[in-house]
Structure 1
Amino acid sequence: MILKGFKEKSIKNKFNTILKAQSVTNKNHTVKNVGVIFNIEEVDDFEMFKSLADSLGLLPNAVQVIAYANNEKDAAFSWNTCFHSKDFGWHGKITNVELETFLNTEFDLLISYYCEDILRLKLLTAYSKAKFKVSIFQLDKRLNDLIIETKVNEFDDFKSELVKYLKVFNKIQ
């Protein structure tokens, strides 16, 4: 129990270190590929993220989606690219190869679609090499470039607002 607390503290320290080291880049780019991170306990219909590609004028294979489950049992039965707390080591080290590959992909847009304040989800958003990060409401404003304040079950509202803002920022046509 004590070791688990120390591990959580080391992950939190790594998270804060990543956020302090982030630099703002003002790259003017269009969205050609999208990554999505979501919490499987908040969203059960992952197909809605595939419909996002059409709204952004992208091919369906331009959207990569990963899910987070609180325990390993949910991860095994629910989603083909799912991760859980055991995929993180000390100091926030990623121990899952698929997850590491996802994080090293330079997405033009990363969508963090979760509301719960889960350290591992926030760490993934911080680790991502995405050029532009968007989320629904989150407490930590340092994580994302754009926050669209909608509820998790209001995906259509989120999608329409996202498209509107990406057009304003000249990220899509």
Structure 2
Amino acid sequence: MFLKFFKNFSAKRIVKKSSLNVNSTISDKPIETVGLLIDETFFTEKDKLIQQLVSNGIEVKNLTVLAFKNSYKKKEIIDYPHYSKKDVSWLGTIEKKEALDFIAKDYDLLISYYDVKKTPLVIVTHQSKANFKVGFTSVDKRLNHFMIETQVEKYSVFIDELFKYLRILKKI
């Protein structure tokens, strides 16, 4: 128990020391590829959220999802890329291949769909090579280019606001 606490504390401290400031240069090209980072610990409507994105013009083939959960059960069947707390090292790096592939891909838009600041989620958002990052205002404001103030449970409000502002910014 103590080692898990110390591991989380160590990773959090290293992430805090790193520069969390987002690159201020934003590409003018329209959004085609989208990365969706979801905290499934409390939010279970992943499929409905994806349907909302698709109904607003994002093609399924251009959408990549990575899910985080504090811990997964051994017999739980998971058919999508995911990671958990145990995939974060003492040095604040991600050790799971699916998460590393997600980080390495250049997205036009990264949607960080979590409203509670957790070290593994912050690491992926910060290290992502996305051109435009969107998230919630309740998370560290240095992580995202654009933030929406709503609750995680109200995914349709989040998506409506997101696409309203993407149209204003001429990103879609």
TM exceeding 0.5:
yes
SS of residue paired to 1:95 = coil
Structure 1 spans left out of the alignment, 5+ residues = none
In the TM superposition, 1:152-167 aligns within 5 A as 152-167=152-167
**1:141 alignment partner in structure 2:** 141
Higher helix share: 1
SS of residue paired to 2:91 = helix
SS of residue paired to 2:66 = strand
Offset of 1:159 from its aligned partner?
0.9
SS of residue paired to 1:77 = coil
Offset of 1:10 from its aligned partner?
3.0
Kept in 2, the 8 Å contact 1:42–1:114? The answer is no
**1:119 alignment partner in structure 2:** 119
Offset of 1:31 from its aligned partner?
0.4
Kept in 1, the 8 Å contact 2:14–2:92? The answer is yes
SS of residue paired to 1:80 = coil
Offset of 1:74 from its aligned partner?
7.2
Identity of aligned pairs, percent? 32
**1:28 alignment partner in structure 2:** 28
**2:89 alignment partner in structure 1:** 89
Offset of 1:47 from its aligned partner?
1.2
SS of residue paired to 1:90 = coil
Structure 2 spans left out of the alignment, 5+ residues = none
Offset of 1:120 from its aligned partner?
1.2
Write the deviation string for residues 117-139 of structure 1: whole angstroms up to 9, x where unpaired.
21111111111111110012323
State the alpha-carbon separation in 2 of the partners of residues 54 and 13 from structure 1: 40
Kept in 2, the 8 Å contact 1:15–1:92? The answer is yes
State the alpha-carbon separation in 2 of the partners of residues 164 and 38 from structure 1: 21
What is the count of residue pairs matched by the alignment? 171
Q: With the length of structure 2 as denominator, give the TM-score of the two structures.
A: 0.88
1:75–1:11 Cα change, 3 Å: farther
**1:8 alignment partner in structure 2:** 8
Q: Which runs of 4+ in 1 moved over 4 A?
A: none
In the TM superposition, 1:48-127 aligns within 5 A as 48-51=48-51, 52-55=53-56, 57-73=57-73, 76-127=76-127
Partner amino acid, structure 1, of 2:45: D
Kept in 2, the 8 Å contact 1:134–1:145? The answer is yes
Q: With the length of structure 1 as denominator, give the TM-score of the two structures.
A: 0.88
Offset of 1:2 from its aligned partner?
4.7
State the alpha-carbon separation in 2 of the partners of residues 20 and 155 from structure 1: 26
State the alpha-carbon separation in 2 of the partners of residues 33 and 99 from structure 1: 17
Kept in 2, the 8 Å contact 1:103–1:129? The answer is yes
- The answer to which of 9-18 and 118-127 deviates more is 9-18
1:137–1:79 Cα change, 3 Å: farther
Q: CA RMSD in A?
A: 2.1
Offset of 1:21 from its aligned partner?
6.2
